[in-house]
Amino acid sequence: MPGFRGGSQVKIRIARIELRHLKMPLKFRFETSFGTMTEKSFLLAQVFSDDGDWGLGECVAEEHPYYLPETNGTVAHIIREFLAPLILGHVFEEPTETDGLLSRIRGHEMAKAALEMAIWDLFARTRGEPLFKTLGGAAKETIPAGVSIGLQNDVPALLKRVAVEVAAGYQRIKIKIKPGADLDLARAVRKEFPSIPLMVDANSAYTLKDAEILERFDEFNLMMIEQPLAWNDIVEHSKLQPLLKTPICLDESITSNAAAESAISVGACGIINIKAGRVGGLLSSKRIQATCAAHRIPVWCGGMLESGIGRLANVHLQTLPGFTLPGDTSASARYFDEDLIEPGVGVDARGQIRVPDQPGLGHEIIWSRVERATIHRDAWSA
């Protein structure tokens, strides 16, 4: 059945799904408590309608299961065996139908999100509107940009990195920490930059036994401390939070709206980092944002060193109400010599990112660059 347009009502039948594996060199080495990245290796889903319209969804899984359990390998398996068969041939009236279609598959949020986000982009392009509008975001000109700085070789190198990003205009600086490279880093940055909005991210490197160290971050006037304890332990965070003045922000622990509800109800955090790719997609992100708003929990949009495709989706997401804090969405040029979009995502001297007003993700996809970065490709038809 061909898609037809009538008013804003569009029916879209999914005819084909393509899944590519891309590799892109990173301009810098990104070190966190769980490992070091020197290239971006990721899956890119493209969904096609009967009419030949298409949409793109960038997956946030990595080669390894060191951030969360999913990997590029598990995502490809789950999409091929379980998700693609449910989406192919389905006639969508709303992008939110993905939720019901895929709910039988437990977990695998990153795999689901890649397809879900591609379907949102397909709807936006088919309707001829920017993604933020399809999502129900506000028509904002700009969103505020923050930056995430990896572990450096020494404190002087870190201070230099922070100085560069502050000079570039970023409105909030996040530094990565790990046991043995924590209080000294925060102290040094705070001393040199007494008033910048500053936070730290531990990526689950501590346990409750380290509470004394974590309490001492209170002296640095941080906006928040991100995911200090285990990726899957909300209860432990609820025991830590009352010991700290600094709000805990959860990242890894929040993989669904249900997890956000649990975390808030036991007092495990004061702030939540939303990554659409980590929580199963944009609808789930919207739900988490609404849950947080109802409990006056601020949210912000995290990042996974995405290419321009995932980066643009993050920009659109941040037009939703409740995204009041600067996120980790930084300029394309920080990460890649050559991004997959033109223009790249840019950050102005006041630390603002322009929200695209063109259909879908809103910047041109440079397919020759996508092709060059593609190391493997699969496709399935209805």
Catalytic residues: 176, 275
Nearer to ligand OSB, 17 or 59 (CB): 59
Residue 57 beta carbon to ligand OSB: minimum distance, rounded to whole angstroms: 17
165 binds, among ligand OSB, Mg ion, none (CB under 5 to 8 A by kind): none
Q: Which of 70, 116, 165, 201 binds Mg ion (CB under 5 A)?
A: 201
Q: How many residues bind Mg ion (CB under 5 A)?
A: 3
Nearer to ligand OSB, 10 or 175 (CB): 175
Residue 235 beta carbon to Mg ion: minimum distance, rounded to whole angstroms: 19
- List, in sequence order, every residue forming a beta bridge with 333; answer none if it has no partner: none
Residue position matching structure tokens 């993700």: 361
Q: Could you say whether residue 328 binds Mg ion (CB under 5 A)?
A: no
Query: Which amino acid, 303?
Result: G
DSSP states of 325-379: S-BS---HHHH-SS-SEESPP---TTSEEEPP-SSBT-SEE-HHHHHHHEEEEEE
Nearer to Mg ion, 53 or 251 (CB): 251
Cβ–Cβ under 8 Å, residues 201 and 227: yes
152 binds, among Mg ion, ligand OSB, none (CB under 5 to 8 A by kind): none
CA–CA distance, 83 with 77 (Å, rounded to integer): 9
Pairing label, strands 9-32, 91-92: antiparallel
Nearer to Mg ion, 273 or 307 (CB): 273
92 binds, among Mg ion, ligand OSB, none (CB under 5 to 8 A by kind): none
Nearer to ligand OSB, 203 or 289 (CB): 203
DSSP code at position 302: -
Nearer to ligand OSB, 121 or 328 (CB): 328
Residue 157 beta carbon to Mg ion: minimum distance, rounded to whole angstroms: 21
Nearer to Mg ion, 158 or 177 (CB): 177
Query: What phi and psi values does residue 353 have, to the nearest 5 degrees?
Result: -110, 130
CA–CA distance, 374 with 368 (Å, rounded to integer): 10
Q: Could you say whether residue 58 binds Mg ion (CB under 5 A)?
A: no
Around 307, how many Cα atoms within 13 Å sit in the side-chain half-sphere?
31
Q: Could you say whether residue 62 binds Mg ion (CB under 5 A)?
A: no
Contacting positions for ligand OSB (CB under 6 A)? 67, 148, 201, 203, 251, 302-305, 328, 330
Q: Which of 165, 251, 306, 339 binds Mg ion (CB under 5 A)?
A: 251
Binding part of the chain for Mg ion, among 48-56, 67-75, 135-143, 243-251 by CB under 5 A, reads 243-251
279 binds, among ligand OSB, Mg ion, none (CB under 5 to 8 A by kind): none
Residue nearest to ligand OSB (CB): 303
Residue position matching structure tokens 């432990």: 236
Binding part of the chain for Mg ion, among 93-101, 175-183, 244-252, 259-267 by CB under 5 A, reads 244-252
b/e burial code for range 260-285 (CB count within 10 A of at least 16 → b):
bbbbbeeebbbbbbbbbbbbbbbbbb
Q: Could you say whether residue 31 binds Mg ion (CB under 5 A)?
A: no
Around 123, how many Cα atoms within 13 Å sit in the side-chain half-sphere?
25
Residue 86 beta carbon to ligand OSB: minimum distance, rounded to whole angstroms: 28
> Over 172-230, what HEC string results?
CEEEECECCECHHHHHHHHHHCCCCCEEEECCCCCCHHHHHHHHHHHHHCCCCEECCCC
Q: Name 217's Cβ contacts closer than 8 Å, sequence gap at least 6.
A: 182, 183, 186, 200, 225, 244, 246
Residue 58 beta carbon to ligand OSB: minimum distance, rounded to whole angstroms: 12
Contact residues toward Mg ion (CB under 5 A) are 201, 226, 251
